[in-house]
Chain A
Amino acid sequence: MSIVRNQVLFVLALVSAAALALTGFVTHAPNRLVSGRALALWHAAPVTAAAALAGGVLALLVVSLLPQSRPVRWGAAAIGSALILLTLDAAGQVAAGLIDPAHPAARTALGAAAWVLVLCAALAVVDAMQRLGAGPLLRSIVAAGVVAAVGALLASGRLDALSFLREYANQRDAFARELVRHMALVAAALVPALAIGMPLGVAVARRPRLGQGVYAGLNLLQTIPSVALFGLLIAPLSALAAAFPVLAAVGVQGIGFFPAMLALVLYALLPVVRNTQAGLMGVDAAVVEAARGMGLTERQIFWRVEGPLALPVVLAGVRIVLVQTIGLAVVAALIGAGGLGTFVFQGIGQYATNLVLLGAVPTIVLALAADLAMRTLVELAERRRSP
């Protein structure tokens, strides 16, 4: 009989403790291009901050040994959330303490221990929500709460000394611009993908023969690596724009926003078509026949019966596409489309890890937020359905 009541939490607490004991909490470097020296929590952080973190990890360990009642699980979620904030705040304090006016180029970044701690704390929250049987709606609320708290911490200025935020300070205007551009690119790709993919999915559901050709084409597109597809579009689109000035006038060109959008649309089609078809095929044939037998017209059957019943599966497809497009849009920066990928590729070019993070972390947050929001929508659409 094990005394550990929650193995997941137990392992997370142990990993956190080991990371704190064995690896650097922050790294300190003389400038942004060289890799820094790792500083352990005990050496670098104020005693109160270090004690708070150690206490948080210990609390997770203790909770993993308690009988798992609902209050205990909520407790684990609360400790996990607090630990995320405490870790970031401690790193901010360390970085502030290391500021030296004689070395303005010196940078302090999150070290391995800090990353591991944030990750484990986040997983502890996810684990607690799962064990609580929380639906997407409740998860969204909790996630929004944690994100808002982290946002408040960022806004408070307590983390400003960290390398990541110093990159942000340098890029403040560019960041806002590229973030908006990233979202615009995703939206611009999503709308035509749905407008083309959904009717195509309906057509394929009605005529399975048609499906063979459509899927052959779409599957082929999926196998082309994204970098290659972006590259492949340059030549034909440039030629088109050159041959037809009208097209050039509406934005068709070899590089930039248009080819990026086009490539993202092409990648998005397969999940949309497949899920639309699957959703329609999944509607009980007896229900459709009953509808027809009642005297609904074909149009009424589609809009009132088949469509609503297929909706959860279609929305699941939209979720996949949204997350996929947010991620792929990073690569679009390579062909001059802008977006958060700009920082990623600049960072790679300059060996500046924290500049890469400035592009990558918001992309991940955006994708996770989109995922959770869509899951919530799917749940709401499914709520009243029969199993």
Chain B
Amino acid sequence: MTTADGAGTREAGVAREEAQLVALRAGDAAAFGELVDRLNGSLLRLARMYASNPAIAEEVVQEAWIGVIQGLDRFEGRSSLRTWCSRIVINIARTRAAREHRQIPFSAFDDPSAGAEPAVEAERFLPASDPEWPGHWVSYPARWDEVPEERALARETRDLIDAAIADLPPSQREVITLRDVNGWGADEVCNALGISATNQRVLLHRARARVRRSLERHLVPGETSMGQVDGGTAAFR
């Protein structure tokens, strides 16, 4: 078995996974309960990206768990348990979505350069012809650390982020959900979605840039219109 080059923490993680897999194969129901505790939430989030409603997402995840129970002997341990379980969820969810003739994320076949747009609106920068500062900020982005914490952590902000992610093109949505919402590593996301490291980075870049723009409009209203450099932060003092 080849493991990625890695630090001790990763090796400890691999050892833990192996122990868990041995317990699962031996029919240890407590180990299975722990696996459900650890993964159900993120699998559900994954399924929701493909499902037309939350009830279907729950069904998909349940079906996937049954697949996990039945497939444990076929699982070779080449990927993490989490990656393997996620692939089962993705397969079931995609099959169901296709049956319902709905558009489904398929990052593996997406051209990452399609629909390319700059991370930040072009008009936020001085033109290339500017004699002194070509391509530099017209006015600096605001410092969000001056936004009151209650505002940043408010339910409203959470909802806004969820809505911004839901609005993304499907392949960007898949990548940012796994990476930033679920907190997975880059390798794991490439593995689960079957995409290259470069493709993963490009999709993540676009997705984060768009979510940042939504947050900016929400946290610093009026920021996208041009203001002067030092006036930008005064609004929410």
Same complex for A and B? Answer: no
